[in-house]
């Protein structure tokens, strides 16, 4: 268990953002046939800038996950994998290797390019987690690849006065710094465990895009119910200084926010660049062995 921190400062949200749109992810598969739910896809690139993708996966049937994600390339952005349950091994062409398991996070900056694999190290039991794609600013898209994994006990956790357990993956909450801080996009990534009858408040810069994904229970935001397996996108309001999330029943929620880059986004599969020409370059580099 982590040492549970107390809030370092009192947080007050005088006006919460509201829910602009509730989205239900669609079932798909990726890698060598891993079943998953794509919660955030290309149609939300502009609206949720700098976030490019959120996949949720969860199954106790090995057929849904056993094939994993064999060697494949990425260029131009970052991937953040959060494993709630299971064991997954990462290996990449930059020489990084790590075992991600129960509650751990892997943060990979693909930059100019990596080829990596993400393979289950279990043949039975539950595999559950999320992969978030975070864009890089144009000037950093060709940066050197970077990788780090955080075991569960390395992720700062706090408990609010209302008993909400907050795992601070990125950014900061209630004065507690998360495992990762990133300039430019300033991502906030919280995993909230809300007991029945609790509410949670978080200050968020009014210019940042923000959303929640509910993966257990149901929450209410400014009177709008958001159920399990739904994503809610928060409105922008210059007068709103944060969000208030209420849980009638025990619930678990990802709260994610970041500063939009407001740059052109061109995606083709595992490459996300600013122009079509840069995409063609990425494909050529990959085919000729110059990507990694
Ligand atoms: Mn990948």
What's the CATH number for 4-287?
A: 2.60.120.10
Q: How far is the CA of 273 from the centre of ligand 1 (A)?
A: 16
* Across 136-153, average pLDDT: 97
Q: How far is the CA of 74 from the centre of ligand 1 (A)?
A: 7
Given CA atoms 134, 135, 140, 142 in this order, what sign does their dihedral have? positive
Q: How far is the CA of 102 from the centre of ligand 1 (A)?
A: 19
| Displacement of CA 134 from its chain's centroid (Å) | 8
Q: How far is the CA of 31 from the centre of ligand 1 (A)?
A: 8
- Domain extents in the chain: 4-287
Q: How far is the CA of 200 from the centre of ligand 1 (A)?
A: 32
Q: How far is the CA of 156 from the centre of ligand 1 (A)?
A: 25
| Displacement of CA 11 from its chain's centroid (Å) | 23
Contact between 54 and 40 (Cβ < 8 Å): yes
* Across 164-190, average pLDDT: 97
Contact between 89 and 99 (Cβ < 8 Å): yes
Mean pLDDT score of the chain, rounded to an integer?
95
pTM (two decimals): 0.96
- Which band of pLDDT confidence, cut at 50, 70 and 90, is reported for residue 7? confident
At 194-240, the pLDDT tens digits run 999 999 999 999 999 999 999 999 999 999 999 999 999 999 988 99
pLDDT at 2: 63
Two tokens, residue 139 = 């000037």
Q: How far is the CA of 8 from the centre of ligand 1 (A)?
A: 36
Rounded-to-integer distance, Cα 78 and Cα 51, Å = 10
């Amino acid at each position: 268990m982590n040492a549970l921190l107390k809030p370092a400062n009192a947080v007050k949200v005088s006006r919460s953002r509201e829910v602009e749109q509730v989205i239900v992810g669609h079932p798909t598969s990726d890698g060598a046939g891993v079943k998953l739910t794509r919660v955030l896809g290309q149609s939300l690139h502009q609206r949720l800038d700098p976030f490019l993708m959120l996949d949720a996966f969860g199954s106790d049937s090995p057929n849904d996950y056993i094939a994993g994600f064999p060697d494949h390339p990425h260029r131009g952005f970052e991937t953040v994998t959060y494993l709630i349950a299971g064991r997954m091994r990462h290996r990449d062409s930059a020489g990084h290797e790590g075992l991600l398991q129960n509650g751990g996070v892997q943060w990979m900056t693909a930059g100019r390019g990596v080829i990596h694999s993400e393979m289950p190290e279990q043949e039975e039991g539950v595999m559950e987690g999320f992969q978030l794609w975070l864009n890089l600013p144009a000037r950093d898209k060709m940066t050197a690849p970077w990788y780090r994994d955080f075991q569960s006990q390395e992720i700062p956790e706090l408990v609010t006065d209302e008993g909400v357990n907050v795992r601070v993956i990125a950014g900061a909450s209630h004065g507690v710094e998360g495992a990762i801080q990133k300039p430019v996009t300033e991502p906030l990534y919280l995993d909230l465990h809300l007991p029945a009858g609790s509410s949670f408040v978080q200050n968020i810069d009014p210019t940042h895009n923000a959303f929640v994904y509910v993966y257990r229970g149901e929450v209410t935001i400014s009177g709008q119910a958001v159920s399990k397996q739904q994503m809610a996108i928060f409105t922008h309001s210059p007068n709103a200084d944060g969000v208030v999330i209420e849980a009638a029943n025990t619930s678990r929620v990802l709260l994610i926010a970041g500063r939009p880059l407001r740059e052109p986004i061109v995606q083709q599969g595992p490459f996300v660049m600013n122009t079509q020409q840069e995409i063609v370059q990425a494909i050529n580099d990959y085919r000729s062995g110059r990507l990694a």
